[in-house]
Structures are given as structure tokens and as C-alpha cells.
Amino acid sequence: MIDDDDFFLREMQGVKKIKQVKKVDLSQPHKATDAQKLRQQSATSEKVSSDPNHLQHYEVERVQPHDELGFKCHGIQDGVFRKLRQGKYPIDARLDLHRMTIDKAREVVFSFINDCVKYDLRTVLILPGKGDRNIEDPALLKSYLIHWLPQLPDVMAFHTALPKDGGAGAMYVLLRKSTSNKEQVR
């Protein structure tokens, strides 16, 4: 019976030490090249965007004017989403986007959602319109809206509204509960 030490020594026979390659001398300060200096200057002098609105406004995947659309974040209970879909939550605020440009709608949606969260509103209705009258570019605002809403961390879910609230031209939006509302429920 061979013990572990003898086995190890037998297996290591013929193994040679690896030659060490010269290392970089870090004791001397590094002298940057002109190109490196220029890159460093341009990186430090770039202006930081002052626009807090992170909603993207490049081309998005289009939807059809009469599509029924929905989204829910991970963790939203099926019963809560079902009640939203069925229009059973009271609507705390409304936003009408009809006839707005994409840039204007982007600004308005961003500030509207932030204001709603600030005032502890939970369920809102946003009306982008169906866009079925615009033959050249149907459902433009609707397509952008469903692209923007999941980008907002305070939006927990949304779904196409019932006909009484605007149907395919409107969205029920469920917003995150504020910390004060969560504590009241407890």
C-alpha cells in the first residue's frame, strides 16, 4: 500500500519548474502616448446628458390598430392582472396622447408616470388612439407606448382597455405601490 506522499512524489518525477518571464516594472510612472492622452481628454470632456428621460425613441416594432396587448412584470399575481384586464380597478388619472408627435408623447408619458407615482396613483388610463385612420403609418403612438411602458420601472402591468374606456385605443396601466401604501396595507 502506497501512502499519499509517496504517490505524489512518484507522480511529480520529471516535472521541471517553469521559467519565470520578466515582469513589467511598475515602479516607474507610465508615460502615455499622445493618442492615449487625446482619448483620455475626450472621454473626460464629454457632456453628460441632462435628460433624465431614458425612454427610447428610435424605430420600434409596430402593432396593428386593433391588437389587444398586455404586459405584466414578474411577480404580479394572475388575479391582479385579470382585474386590470377586466377594468375592475378605479382609474385614478387619464392621459390623452391623440395628435401628439412621438417626441412630445415620449416626454408627456415619462412625466405623467412619474407624477402619478409621486401622488400615489395606482391605476391610470393612457389613450394613444388606435391609429387606424393613419393609412400610411397605422398605430404609431400605440406601438411606441407599448414599447415605452415596460422600460419604466414603476409600471407593473398594462393591458388594452375595455370598449367602455377606449378599447383598442387605450391602455390600463398598473403602477407600483408606493412604500407608504405598502405599509398602510400591512
What does the pLDDT read at residue 48?
Answer: 53
Element of type H or E holding 112: helix 102-118
What does the pLDDT read at residue 176?
Answer: 93
What does the pLDDT read at residue 50?
Answer: 59
What does the pLDDT read at residue 6?
Answer: 87
Q: Dihedrals φ, ψ of 138, to 5°?
A: -70, 145
What does the pLDDT read at residue 27?
Answer: 72
- Cell numbers at 39, concatenated: 482619448
| 186 residues of the chain, pLDDT tens digit each | 678 888 888 888 888 888 887 777 777 777 777 777 777 776 666 555 556 777 876 778 889 999 999 999 999 999 999 999 999 999 999 999 998 999 999 999 999 999 999 999 999 999 999 988 877 778 899 999 999 999 999 999 999 999 999 999 999 999 998 766 666 665
Is the sign of the CA dihedral 54, 123, 175, 138 positive or negative?
negative
What does the pLDDT read at residue 40?
Answer: 75
Strand positions, DSSP E, the chain: 70-72, 93-96, 123-127, 155-160, 171-175
What does the pLDDT read at residue 167?
Answer: 95
Contact 171, 124 (CB under 8 A): no
Give the rounded distance of the alpha carbon of 126 from its chain centre.
Answer: 19
If we measure between CA atoms, which residue out of 173, 99, 111 comes closest to residue 140? Answer: 99
What does the pLDDT read at residue 79?
Answer: 96
What does the pLDDT read at residue 114?
Answer: 94
Query: What domains can be seen in the chain, in order of their start residue?
Result: 70-185 (3.30.1370.110)
Contact 155, 74 (CB under 8 A): no
Q: pTM, whole model, 2 decimals?
A: 0.69
Distance CA 102, CA 169 (A): 16
- Cell numbers at 166, concatenated: 377606449
